[in-house]
Amino acid sequence: MSLLRSRISRKPAPAPVETGGQGAVPRHIAIIMDGNGRWAKARRLPRLAGHRSGAEAVRRTLRAAGKLGIECVTLYAFSSENWKRPEEEIADLTGLMKQFLRSELDEIHEAGIRLKIIGDHHAFEPEAAAMVDAAVARTADNRASTLVVALNYGSQDELARAMRRLAEQVKAGTLAPSEITPEAIAAQLDTADLPPLDLLIRTSGEVRLSNFLLWQAAYAELYFTDTLWPDFDEAALVAAIESYARRERRYGGR
Ligand code: IPE
Ligand code: IPE
Ligand code: MG
Is residue 11 one of the residues assigned to a domain? Answer: no
Q: What is the pLDDT of residue 226?
A: 98
**pLDDT level of residue 197 (50, 70, 90 thresholds):** very high
Alpha carbon dihedral 15, 17, 18, 19, in 10-degree steps, equals -160
Say if 185 falls within a structural domain: no
Mean pLDDT for the stretch of residues 73-78: 98
Per-residue buried b or exposed e for 27-51, using 16+ beta carbons within 10 Å of the residue's own CB:
bbbbbbbbbbbbbbeeeeeebbbbb
Residues whose beta carbon lies within 6 Å of some atom of ligand 2: 32-34, 76-79, 82, 206, 208, 210
Task: Examine the pLDDT at 10 and tell me if it is beyond 60.
Answer: no
pLDDT digits (tens, 9 = 90+) for 156-196: 999 999 999 999 999 999 999 999 999 999 999 999 999 99
Domain that holds residue 62: 22-154+197-245
CATH of the domain at 74: 3.40.1180.10
| Residue 254 binned pLDDT confidence (cut-offs 50, 70, 90) | confident
| Cβ–Cβ under 8 Å, residues 28 and 22 | no
- How many whole angstroms from its chain centre is CA 95? 20
Q: Determine the pLDDT at residue 154.
A: 98
pLDDT (mean) for 243-252: 95
For residue 212, the ligand closest to its alpha carbon is 2
Q: Average pLDDT of 81-102?
A: 98
Average pLDDT, the chain: 94
Give me the pLDDT at residue 136, please.
Answer: 98
Q: Any residues with CB less than 8 A from the CB of 59 and at least 6 apart, and which?
A: 104
Number of domains comprising the chain: 1
Can 193 be counted among the known catalytic residues?
no
Find the mean pLDDT for residues 12-27.
Answer: 62
Q: Which of 34, 92, 190, 198 is catalytic?
A: 34
Between 19 and 144, name the one with better pLDDT. Answer: 144
In a domain, 125, yes or no: yes
pLDDT at residue 13, as a whole number: 46
Cα 9 from chain centre: 24
Kindly state the average pLDDT of the residues 203-224: 98
Q: Ligand 2: which residue has its CA nearest to atom 10?
A: 210
